[in-house]
Structure 1
Amino acid sequence: MNSRPMTQPFGPKVSVIVPIYNGERDLSGLISCLLSQSYPAENVEYLLVDNNSSDRTLSLLQSAAESAASSGWTIRPISENKIQSSYAARNAGIRAATTEIFAFTDADCRPEPDWLAALIQPFENPNIGIVVGEIMALPGKTLLEQHAQREDVLSQKHTLANTFCPYGQTANLAIRKKAFQEVGLFRPHLTTGGDADICWRIQRESNWQLHFAPTAIVRHRHRSTVPELQSQWRRYGRSNRYLHELHGVKLMHEPTPKQYAVRLGRWLVKELPIKGAMCVAGKATLVDLLSTPIGLINVRARAVGQNQAKLSEEARVIEWLEKNQDVEVDQ
């Protein structure tokens, strides 16, 4: 039986870790959301890790830390300049943290006010080692943003339904320190796929359980241009190749040129006239009309990323959490 009084809410000390690379344009919005959290200010530290940015990220973090202190919040700017990888930056944050629970998000995310409270609540169960929050879209203005929003491209429902093993994306994820101590930290030289890798290692190599917290919501901006979209889906392809090499995950199926042609032909002959007429009648949108070609662009980019990717030997390395390890903290 839990001896904690019912009137005392569950609110352990938490470290929120955010890797940042050239995040100048995102910092104001991110920090505003972090300092608007309903979680008690005295129980949270924000470790914002500059990953060798070339813009004003570091100086802005230092200014934000000074301003937050006057309001009772703790922001700690940290630098990871040796390895250019968000996972290396997260490891630096973990090593600098002073708590037993780590929450992760990204610089271009916008956590809702109750995000942290909802993300941490499941840890009241001592068997929970990973908590996954939901990722929803910021309002989209462009055609591509609206398409991604309609398809719930970034929703954790996709990663939680992974047939190999469920996982959560680091844009909205929390992990116990004890879980890292058992299986190691993020692979610092991995450039994509590290979120799946750490979640799988924890679930497959320890007894810690994963829990989904759907009300722990962060908002994320979708890609607004074709080059950005292709880059995103090529990264998905590279991730799958790396996870294939590390865990034996099946490679994603790549359609043949004939299959691409058949799908595009069906769109031109059948879908385009029907959806076009519906658009004229106000019963469909441009997003509905162009959904198929956008999807084909994504599938092709993913296939290119998977085919071109090659996992380096150093990307296999796992770092471990060591006691009393010095970390560069910028004052």
Structure 2
Amino acid sequence: MTNDQSKVSVIVPIYNGEADLPGLIECLRAQTYPRDRVEYLLVDNNSSDRTGQILATAAAQTSTEKINLQVLTEDKIQSSYAARNKAIRIAQGEIIAFTDADCRPQPDWLEKLVIPFADPIVGIVVGELVALPGNTILEQYAERYELMSQKFLVEHPFCSYGQTANIAIRREIFERVGLFRPYLTTGGDADICWRIQKQTGWKLEFAPQAIVRHRHRANLREFKSQWRRYGTSNRYLHELHGVSLMRELTFRESLYRLSRWLLKELPRDSAKLVIGKAKAIELIKTPIDLIGFQARTAGQKQAQLSEQAKTIEWL
């Protein structure tokens, strides 16, 4: 590894992240990318917990380790996208990488994420998201079925994209297409990727070896909230880009699928479990699917995109 590599800015928006920040900061400290070629911009998005104190302590500690960790504040707009915009404006890197406070980038994450940019036509690189170990049924479900894997998003039938939990974009692109929509509450990652690919000739590349481990939802409330957000995001992206709405799950279809599960799938999978050809989580996949699909349908039905949320900020 040489020092002629691209300068990189890593941006992390944070809201009430006191529980997650120590683990994240340790992961940033462990990055194998040359320390003199990367800056870490951590943006406190008006947190009400000890986030600010933890960030200040981390900045002081890492400065002695020659790690460029800077603390910023976005307290005017409560939005992770506004927080990211705040950091993009001052970022010095040629490449801007994004992750989140509840993520755990692997030591070679940044090193692997930057490699595809050696191709001059690549403007976006999407890394992979892998589940952190979890014990609850819903965490096991998310891990078993790769609920957050980016490989599905880069194959999206409308247009490829990646989540901001693990993505990198050339800084110069923001000068052409603008920044994130600061008042958008969800869907901003797809929106920025689609704007780039529609308005420019830059290509998106998938880097599955650039891994960020992510904590999945551990309880039913968080799980349903996640799927409601998926539905909300799809409604917003439908209005912004014309992507097709997801098919809504009807009560009749839910009843049919539950009946099929009880009468056919459950007995079949139970038999497979006995002979070691299935995992326990597979027995309850259908009811968990239906809970998620119902929440997604509700989110899509109830979402209303405001005129303010359509606003794009510029450098």
Residue 325 of structure 1 corresponds to which residue in structure 2? none
Q: Which amino acid aligns with 2:38?
A: V
Letter in 2 for 1:139: P
1:42 alignment partner in structure 2: 36
Partner of 2:157: 163
Once the two structures are superposed, residues 145-176 of structure 1 have per-residue CA deviations (whole angstroms, 9 ceiling, x without a partner) of 01111111100111111111000110000001
Q: Which residue of 1 aligns with 2:85?
A: 91
Structure 1 residue identity aligned to 2:56: Q
- In 2: Cα distance, 1:81 partner to 1:89 partner: 9
Is residue 102 of structure 1 aligned with residue 96 of structure 2?
yes
Q: In the TM superposition, what is the alpha-carbon distance from 1:260 to its structure 2 partner?
A: 1.0
Q: How many angstroms does 1:89 deviate by?
A: 0.4
Instruction: Pick the aligned partner of 1:111 from 102, 105, 109.
Output: 105
Cα distance between partner residues in 2 of 1:192 and 1:152: 21
Letter paired with 1:27: L
Asked if 1:186 is matched to 2:180, the reply is yes
Structure 1 stretches of 4+ moved >4 Å: 7-10, 280-283
- Compared with structure 1, are the counterparts of its residues 74 and 8 closer, same or farther at alpha carbon in structure 2 (3 Å cutoff)? closer
- Report the 3-state secondary structure (helix = DSSP H, G, I; strand = E; otherwise coil) of the residue aligned with 2:169: strand
Q: Distance in 2 between matches of 1:257 and 1:273?
A: 24
Q: 1:100-121 CA distances to partner (integer Å, 9 max, x unpaired)?
A: 2100000000000100011111
Residue of structure 1 in register with 2:140 after alignment: 146
**Equivalent residues in 2 for 1:148-297, closer than 5 Å:** 148-297=142-291
Q: Residue 143 of structure 1 contacts residue 286 of structure 1 at CA under 8 Å; is this kept in 2?
A: no
Name the TM-score, length of structure 1 as normaliser: 0.93
Gaps of 5+ in 1: 1-6, 322-331
For residues 26-82 of structure 1, the C-alpha deviation after alignment (integer angstroms, 9 at most, x for no partner) is 000000001100000111110000000000101110110000000110110000001
Aligned amino acid, residue 32 of structure 1: E
Q: Quote the Cα distance in structure 2 between the aligned partners of 1:226 and 1:8.
A: 47
Q: TM-score, normalised by structure 2?
A: 0.97
Shift of 1:255: 2.5
**Aligned partners of 1:136 and 1:73: how far apart in 2?**
26
Aligned-pair distance for 1:281?
4.8
2 CA distance for matches of 1:38 and 1:320? 32
Secondary structure in 1 aligned to 2:75?
A: coil
Change (3 A) 1:14 1:36: same
Counterpart Cα distance in 1 of 2:226 and 2:265:
26
C-alpha displacement of 1:225 = 0.5
User: CA-atom RMSD, angstroms?
Assistant: 1.2
2:234, 2:287 → 1: CA distance?
Answer: 23
Q: What runs of 5+ residues in structure 2 fail to find an aligned partner?
A: none
Query: What is the count of residue pairs matched by the alignment?
Result: 315
- Could you tell me which of 22, 27, 33 is aligned with 2:16? 22
Distance 2:162 2:182 in 1: 18
- The answer (yes or no) to whether the contact 1:237–1:306 under 8 Å persists in 2 is yes
